[in-house]
Each structure stands twice: as structure tokens, then as C-alpha cells.
Amino acid sequence: MKLLELLGYFNYWVFAIILTVGLYAVIRKTNLIKKLIGLSIFQSAVFLMYITMDKVEGGTAPIIQAGVENQIFSNPLPQVLILTAIVVGVSTLALGLAIVVRINESYGTIEEREILDAD
């Protein structure tokens, strides 16, 4: 495979790496806020994969300009899905952080091991 073709897959490899980095943070770290940060990195990697799929070679953003014929556009559908997903992601993040704050007030700590021991 030529180098340029190989580099075309670079987006997907970056997606795989960032996904696993986020997952590693969720699995391994014991601090609850660090887990939430890892989860948001995981979400961003998924968004990257969807938006990578929507690019068409030689296309532009899908905004139809009057008077320009035969314009190639990039696919608008994954963009719509990811727009929704970003806002839903920040909503769930806010809710998760509210729960973490309450856990901190009840147990005095946000380390997972100490919370499980205190129960």
C-alpha cells in the first residue's frame, strides 16, 4: 500500500488510540473526577470517528451557495448526529459531576477505594 493510502487511515488510528487512552483512565484511575474526564475523552474519540466518515474528497461544508453549480458537498448526516451527541454528552457530564460533589459531601472523599471501604 502506498504511503498516502496508509496515511488516509491515520484518522482511524488516532481514534483507536484516543479511545483506548480514555478507557484506560476509566478502568485504572480511582479518582471519580479523573474517571469522568476519561469518559469525556472517550466520547470525543467517537465523535472524531463519525466526522471522519463524513468527509468527501474535494468537498466543502454542506452549505448550498446560490449560483454555484456542481458543487461537491460533504455528508451532512453524521454532523447532525454528532451535534446532538455533544450536547447530550455535556448534560450527562454535568449530572455526573453533581453526583460526585454529593458523594464528596457524604463520604468526605472521592477516591473509589476509600468509598468502598467506608460502606
Partner 1 sequence: MIFVFALFLLTLLVITALAIVHTENLFVAVMLTSIFSLLMAANFFILDAADVALTEAAVGAGVTTVIFLSALALTGEREKPRVGGRNIALVTVGVLALLIIYATFDKPRLGDPNAPVHQHVAPWYLEKTPEYMGFPNVVTAVLSSFRGYDTLGEVFVVFAACIGVLFILGVRPPRESLEPRDESSGLRHHLIPQVVGRLLVPFIVLFGLYVQFHGEYGPGGGFQAGAIIATGVILYALLEGEAEALRAVPRSVLLGMVIGGAMLFGSVGVVCMLMGGAFLDYSVLAADPVWGQQLGILIIEAGVGMAVCGALLSIFHAFAARESLS
Residues 36-75 that bind partner 1 (CB under 8 A): 37-38, 40-41, 44, 47-48, 51-66, 72-75
Binding mask 3-32 for partner 1 (x = CB under 8 A): --x-xxxxxxxxxxxxxxxxxxx-xxxxx-
Cβ burial, residue 22 (10 Å; 0-12/13-18/19+) = buried
Closest approach, Cβ 107 to partner 1, in A, equals 11
The verdict on 95 binding partner 1 (CB under 8 A) reads yes
Distances in Å between the alpha carbon of 112 and those of 31, 43, 103?
A: 6, 22, 10
The verdict on 119 binding partner 1 (CB under 8 A) reads no
Q: For the packed helices 32-53 and 77-107, what is the interaxial angle rounded to 10 degrees?
A: 180
